Structure 1
Amino acid sequence: MNPAIVVVPPGPPLVAPPGGTLVPLAVASTFGAFGGSAGMTNQGLLTVINGDLGTTAVSTAVTGFYNTKPTNCRYTVTGANAGLVNGSINTAPPPPTIDCPTEGTGATEAIAIAARADALTAYNTLAGLPGGFDPGAGNLANLVLAPGVYKAAGGTFMIQGGNLTLDGQGDPNATWVFQMAQSLTVGGPGVAFPQSVVLINGAQVKNVYWQVGSAATINAGGGGTMVGTIIAQDGVTFSTAGNVAITRLDGRALSLVASVTMVNTVINVPAP
């Protein structure tokens, strides 16, 4: 593994407003995962979403999830595929089962539509920020990055061959934005070797953003900890079927169009 390299972006660091966030997510802020207009799929029994789940698609596009708030609502749960959502599940009608009349309604569809609209606004805001540069020629592994805007020169970012460290430099409002016209890949090389994002010196989960022009793949081999709000056009995938090692996201996985798929994944939505 290469030694860590400290990279300081040119110009003033990017910081969120005191006590707030750089990009308000509004309705989308409570969602751990949002599957655009295509839905969400879970495989495995170890998935836990500490936040809300949503899609503008019908309830049958959500598979392998259940929640206990306000009632026990089940979305194509099987003996091998059951992910707990410690929040609400918001989809278009119909309700997922006869025993769950409070979800899959016009009201939950309206919440999903609003969340998708707010996620799109945030995506466009992130994509429009100026001044980004590429500190590792597309690979962010083994870097220690100060707050700032980072843009993938070749259109893709990866974290392969080591972890990425974000240094808050003692400022709890320090903010990082990673812009890419195409894909984000965390983990590897290959399907093994999970990689993580590490926060130090006051860096906070709520102030890390990933604007992904196509799809994001997070630790295909399972394991590792990803950090930040991922807003992707074409879906987010965590781990691969059959993996038992838990893949963790401290943040949000918001897809504008395609689905979010996960295998034994824990997502923790950050506090505001």
Structure 2
Amino acid sequence: MTRVGHSRIVPRNTVRSWLAGALTVAVALGCVAAAPHTASAANTPTPGPALVPLGTATNFAVLAGTAVAATGPTVVTGELGVSPGSTSTGFPSGVLVGAAYKGDPVAAQAQIDLATAYDDAARRPGTASLRPQLGGITVAPGTYNPTSGAFQLTGDLTLDGQGNPNAVFVFRAPGLVTSPASTVRLINGAQACNVFWQVDGSATLGAGSRFIGNVLALNSITAGAGATVDGRLLAREGTVNLDTTTVTRSACTALPARSTSTKLAAFCNPEAPGQLTLIATVTSSGAVPPSGPVEFFANGVRQDRSQSDDGGRASLTMSQVPQRTHKFVAAFTGTNRLDPSASPILTVAVGPRGVCPAPPASPATPAATANDSGQGGQGTVRRPRGDRAFKARDRERNRHRHPRSRHHHHWR
């Protein structure tokens, strides 16, 4: 199991402000749908629901009762836990940017706190009832139940924070099913950490869906191929099943400047066919320089750590990269001022001649480019324009690199 250290998130008891805006209830086809008013001085202030207290479960991106099963190049940013079971499969084929707790007291306490949060969400009074199909509507802060059956999502669901970063959304249902490519969107200050899905059964997230919020399920949680989750997947009694899934533990931030994103690109050296240089670029949403530790992973195995400079750049050069298709990930592990983030998976195929493609037949032949668009998938490596350009970039990179990464890293 690969572990990456990170700052522990401590649950906060935040005094919730009154929300500017009121809830308009529209009745159509026998269903009641919620739509937010535009906030203005003329609106009557309405208190929003309180935050659901997750306790130590706040630190987990994935928590299961019996087992966690991951397939494909899954990436989990945050801690992973299992209790009372102790089984976790799919790592290091997948990448875990965090610690794993399996059948130990840490996971057991997280399950206790999850049960408390689950009951809290289940007992609180409701704001309104929504039609089971959530696609195509905009919802204001509140606590919602379906008029019948489970919540379903086809298309887009928009959550409107009405300018309040502390706005809380709670959805309660006997089940949750999202269709492939469905999306939950946040507008007007809403935060993923303040969205809760209390499911009195099991939850299924469709392939390629973009889901937001903390799922608190009594039974199991299944995420389809290519699904992304900004929040947490927390199952009390069952399993959490991940298929090429990206789960990023959300964190409430007092300042938007805490959030970060990480991208990864690869460069080859035509004079050293087996050599590959990975360049990670970390960006922050505010003025804090994205300087901090960056972990590099190859095929789910941690290779080394480098320190990003004030511009957010960190690099790792590997020698003697073997012939095969490799999957690389860079993870910014966070600081006390910045949240962690992981890059999409970068796939690089290494052929019999090494990393660099064969020399072009003529100067008009286009050079290969790296797949660093942030979408993952099959990628090639960018080839520098001439030996002089490569050496100049190498000198600039080494000037900012962490002392541990000044020399080439041999493949392991």
**TM-score normalised per structure 2:** 0.50
Other-structure match for 1:190? none
Other-structure match for 2:35? 7
Q: Residue 63 in 1 paired to residue 121 in 2?
A: no
Contact 2:75 2:96 in 1 (8 A): yes
What's the offset of the Cα at 1:270? 1.2
User: Matches of 2:45 and 2:236 in 1, distance apart?
Assistant: 32
1:197 to 174, 184, 198: 184
What's the offset of the Cα at 1:15? 4.5
Secondary structure of the corresponding residue to residue 135 of structure 2:
coil
Other-structure match for 1:42? 70
What's the offset of the Cα at 1:65? 1.8
Other-structure match for 1:153? 147
Contact 2:34 2:128 in 1 (8 A): no
Other-structure match for 1:271? 251
Contact 1:212 1:230 in 2 (8 A): yes
User: Matches of 1:6 and 1:91 in 2, distance apart?
Assistant: 41
Secondary structure of the corresponding residue to residue 206 of structure 1:
helix
| Identity score, percent | 36
User: Matches of 1:27 and 1:6 in 2, distance apart?
Assistant: 32
What's the offset of the Cα at 1:133? 2.6
User: Matches of 1:58 and 1:84 in 2, distance apart?
Assistant: 21
Give the residue type in structure 2 aligned to 1:269.
R
Other-structure match for 1:87? 98
**Mapping 1:1-272, distance limit 5 Å:** 7-8=35-36, 12-16=46-50, 22-36=51-65, 38-45=66-73, 47-59=74-86, 61-66=87-92, 82-92=93-103, 109-135=104-130, 137-160=131-154, 162-180=155-173, 182-187=174-179, 193-219=180-206, 222-239=207-224, 243=225, 246-272=226-252
CA RMSD in angstroms, aligned pairs only: 1.9
Q: Which has the higher contact order (CA 8 A, sep 6+)?
A: 1
Give the residue type in structure 2 aligned to 1:170.
G
Secondary structure of the corresponding residue to residue 83 of structure 2:
strand
* Structure index of larger Rg: 2
Superposed CA offset, 1:18-45 (max 9, x none): xxxx122111001111111x11100102
What's the offset of the Cα at 1:224? 2.1
Contact 1:205 1:251 in 2 (8 A): yes
Contact 1:132 1:179 in 2 (8 A): no
- In 2 relative to 1, CA 134–6 (structure 1 residues): closer, same or farther, beyond 3 Å? closer
Superposed CA offset, 1:180-220 (max 9, x none): 1x110011xxxxx420100001000111000000000001x
Secondary structure of the corresponding residue to residue 65 of structure 1:
coil
Structure having the higher strand fraction is 2
Runs of 4 or more consecutive aligned structure 1 residues displaced over 6 Å after TM superposition:
none
User: Matches of 2:80 and 2:163 in 1, distance apart?
Assistant: 33
List alignment gaps of at least 5 residues for structure 1: 17-21, 67-81, 93-108, 188-192
User: Matches of 1:228 and 1:35 in 2, distance apart?
Assistant: 17
Corresponding pairs, count: 214
Other-structure match for 2:369? none
User: Matches of 1:149 and 1:30 in 2, distance apart?
Assistant: 24
**TM-score normalised per structure 1:** 0.75
